[in-house]
Homo-oligomer: A and B are copies of this chain.
Amino acid sequence: MTVDVTEAFRVVDLAGVLCNGALGATIARQRRFDFVGFTVLGVVSGLAGGVLRDVMLQVGQPVALTDPAYLITAMIGVLAAQLIRMEGRRWRWPMIGADALALGAWAATGTIKAQIVGLGWLPSLFLGVVTAVGGGMVRDICIGQVPAVLGGNTLYATAAATASAAILLTPVQVRSTWGMGLGIAIGGGLSLIARWRQW
């Protein structure tokens, strides 16, 4: 059972990496970067949040380095965005959905990892938000934009914080199972609703 939870955790974390890799590469395309620019921006978007989290947690090398699946998954996201033009009307909602899923997934993994290390609830919530919005912040800064969490779309941070809080309110025994599911549902759901209702 422990193995299953760890594996579910990993799949959720990697789903976020895939979505953000594709998202970063799509943004790179809009800026007319070349293939290297695509790759760098996609990898940064996909991995920076988790690297920030792991570097702050100081429990060994970031999982993005020790588990090769992370870099490979980010690159699959980049390649997919390279092969398929994920733009226009048809792609608008799938991309928003992927973004929302990644946000929920990362808020969940960040919060739970912080709790495992023994941090208090406020730092755990903080780390959930950093994991969820960190990759996008670094990506925005790299392309010379004020990060969306500050100005344009502050609902990212709110959705991530709400997801983290929901996980922290879940009983410890089921936090890595039901808690994680709940966090993803709340974080992802909130950001979807916000985009749909144009909050």
In the assembled complex, A173 has its CB within 8 A of some CB on chain B: no
A30–B7 CA distance with the chains assembled, in angstroms: 46
Binding stretch for chain B, among A59-67, A78-86, A97-105: A59-67
Shortest distance between the CB of A21 and any CB in chain B (Å): 13
Interface of A is mostly: helix
Please give the count of copies of this chain that the complex contains: 3
Given contacts A31-B151, A122-B68, A151-B31, whether A58 and B56 have CB atoms under 8 Å apart is no
* A37 and B150 within 8 A (CB): yes
* B33 and A151 within 8 A (CB): yes
Shortest distance between the CB of A164 and any CB in chain B (Å): 13
Task: Count residues on chain A whose CB falls below 8 Å from chain B CBs.
Answer: 48
Binding stretch for chain B, among A8-16, A88-96, A136-144, A177-185: A136-144
Given contacts A56-B62, A119-B61, A122-B71, whether A37 and B154 have CB atoms under 8 Å apart is yes
What residues of chain B lie closer than 8 Å to A147, measured between beta carbons?
Answer: 142
What residues of chain B lie closer than 8 Å to A157, measured between beta carbons?
Answer: 36, 39-40
In the assembled complex, A171 has its CB within 8 A of some CB on chain B: no
Which parts of A109-159 form the interface with B (CB within 8 Å)?
Answer: 114, 117, 119-120, 122-123, 126-127, 137, 141-147, 149-151, 154-155, 157-158
